[in-house]
Each structure stands twice: as C-alpha cells, then as structure tokens.
Amino acid sequence: MNDLQLGKTTKDKIIDYITYFFIYSFLGWIIETIYALLIHGHFVKRGFLYGPICPIYGFGAAILIMCTQKLYKKPFQKFLISTIAFTVFEYLVSWILEVVFNLRWWDYSNDFLNIQGRVSLLYSIFWGLIGVFLLEKLHPFVQNLIQKLKLKSRYNLQFICCIIFIGAIIVDFVMSSIRYLV
C-alpha cells in the first residue's frame, strides 16, 4: 500500500516519513551494535549521537522510500538505486563529519575498490542488498504496522511521538556536537 492509495495529506506523509526516519535510525543502531559486538566481542557505542539511533540509516531509508515508490516488483532496479544512493550518501556523510568534527566514524581504506576509505565496493553491494530487503520486505511490514496502530489510537499518537522524538534528537545532536567540538 503506497501513499497515493491511502489518500494521505501532505501533513500525514511528512509525519509518516519522520516516523520512518526514527524507526530506521533505531534499527540501524541495532545493526551497527550487533556488527560491532561480533567484530570486537563486546559492546561498542556506535554512531555520533548519545542516544540509540544512527541518523544515517534513517535518512538513507527515508530517501530510498521516497525515490522508489513507483518501482513495484522491480528488485534489480531497487538494488541499483539503493547501491548508488547509499554509496553517494555514505560518502557525503563521511566527508561532512570529517570536515566538521575532524573525525572519521568509519574507514574502508583496507577494502577492495574503496574511495578515500569513505566507501567501498563490498559495502556498496551490502547497502544495495539491504535496500532491496528494506523496500521489499521490511518497509511494507513497518508501513502496515503504523497504519494499524493509527487506526487503534483515538489521539494522533504518531504526531505526539514525532514531536517528542524530534525534541529529543535536537537535544542529543546539540550535546553530541558539543562533545566532539570542545
């Protein structure tokens, strides 16, 4: 079910995308945490923020969902778009974080076919596969779950949660930025 079929207002679509951002940012943090646990054998704090979210995943997912709405049942095209979009986005985020904070949160310098250690062929393919999984399996489930929760709520709980989460991420971003800039 896509946004056009649901007859959503612009406000509803924006609230949905903010919700997707927070859900996928949290799921990204879980993926990063599990990955680090497997690599290091113990918990390693992942990401820029204090809280349990990695915004790069949330932004990436939201952008991908917006860009592929009309690609029904075209997994190879979704793979190509995911691979290219996530690779470009990962490169830009890496560069911006390094310019602003003089730190690198990841380094693929030892990987085959990397570009300045910011992106690599292996991770680009991985992002493409994750993108297809997100678009074909995970997002339809998340989208349907959100719609069911909306129908069961008398109040606009989604809107209230979005406002609370936006406030929390702003505070977290300011505090995290101060930590890295000072």
Concatenating the DSSP letter of every residue in 96-139 gives HHHHHHS--S---TTSTTEETTTEEHHHHHHHHHHHHHIIIIIH
> What is the C-alpha separation between 42 and 109, in angstroms, rounded?
24
- Global pTM reads 0.86
Question: What is the per-residue pLDDT for 50?
Answer: 93
* Tens digit of each residue's pLDDT (9 = 90 or more) over 137-169: 999 999 999 989 888 887 688 899 999 999 999
Question: What is the per-residue pLDDT for 109?
Answer: 95
How many domains would you assign to the chain? 1
Domain extent for 142: 3-181
Which segments of the chain have a pLDDT < 70?
A: 1-7, 155
- For residue 101, count other CB atoms closer than 10 A to its CB: 15
Question: What is the per-residue pLDDT for 4?
Answer: 46
